[in-house]
Amino acid sequence: MSNLHQAKTIVFVHGLFVNAKSWCNWVKFFEAKGYKCFAPNYPFHEGEPSLLRNNINSNVGKLTFKKVVENFSDFIDTLPEKPILIGHSIGGLVVQKLIESNKAIAGICIDSAPPSGVISFERSFLRANLPTLNPFKGNSPCLPSVKWFQYAFCNTMTMEETEIEYNKYVVPESRNIPRNTTLGACFIDFKKPHNPLLIIAGEKDNIIPSSLNKKNFKAYKDKNSVTEFKEFLNRTHYICGQKNWEEVATFINDWLSRLK
């Protein structure tokens, strides 16, 4: 735990359909707690979301989960110390892979996309994910509608509230990233010892149901490794931008403090 006691670096890993801009408030929150924070973009995700939507880069569609993990691994290698990782959705699964590779001293996975073999047949999971996975769309980038974004991310918000968030943050995305993880290309060695890991779920998450996060958590088997689970009531997949997101950030900060 000594390394964690000294750690003052956090790397944020965004999920699909957004970029690093989505972490702005979280970066400010943790910087105020004394951390040095970084929020890198996935390849081809740099820029203002509205501009990315209006000028879609076809290279986005070719991006794979493996490339995203490699991109963050390479970034971590440039840092003077192993960081704490905080990831949302697919970003949470990136955190799981990097923790498995011992690239971080602690990891927080918020509404984490499941690794291969951890599955759900809940109707909301299938309804929210199938349009993106659509094999008939090939490598075409996926730009979701506001209606889809409300169902998958902002299902407790009005359409008007959702549209505001959509305009601020949503970007075109690669279909291949979730295809990689869903179709068996992203396994986690759940028996391997690992650094502390916190898995957070939103009770009302449609696209990554809380029950799926619980399965992900329970899959870890090493009894000597710290693995914890926390569900936040009335939270959706938009938990990191939803009203009272500070409660989630505070819980994470307190969890890290307890580990130290």
Is the model's pLDDT at 66 over the cut of 50?
yes
Is the model's pLDDT at 237 over the cut of 90?
yes
Per residue in 157-190, pLDDT tens? 999 999 999 999 999 999 999 998 876 668 999 9
Q: Binning pLDDT at 50, 70 and 90, where does residue 2 land?
A: very low
Is the model's pLDDT at 208 over the cut of 60?
yes
Q: Binning pLDDT at 50, 70 and 90, where does residue 31 land?
A: very high
How much is the average pLDDT of 183-206?
A: 93
Q: Binning pLDDT at 50, 70 and 90, where does residue 121 land?
A: confident
pLDDT at 60: 97
Tokens, residue 223: 């009894």
The radius of gyration of the chain from alpha carbons, rounded to an integer in Å, stands at 17
How much is the average pLDDT of 245-255?
A: 98
pTM over 0.85: yes
Give the ranges where 101-170 is alpha helix by DSSP (H): 123-133, 146-152, 159-169
pLDDT at 8: 93
Is the model's pLDDT at 254 over the cut of 60?
yes
Q: How far apart are CA 27 and CA 10, in angstroms?
A: 9
pLDDT at 183: 65
Q: How far apart are CA 219 and CA 150, in angstroms?
A: 30
Tokens, residue 63: 């991006």
pLDDT at 1: 42
pLDDT at 136: 86
Q: How far apart are CA 243 and CA 51, in angstroms?
A: 26
Q: How far apart are CA 215 and CA 257, in angstroms?
A: 26
Q: How many domains does the chain have?
A: 1
Query: Closest Cα to residue 194, out of 160, 173, 224, 151?
Result: 224
Q: How far apart are CA 192 and CA 199, in angstroms?
A: 17
CATH code for the domain of 123 = 3.40.50.1820
* HSE-CB of 163 using CA atoms within 13 angstroms: 3
What's the chain's average pLDDT? 95
Q: Which residues constitute the domain of residue 125?
A: 2-259
Residue pair 129/114 in contact (Cβ under 8 Å)? The answer is no
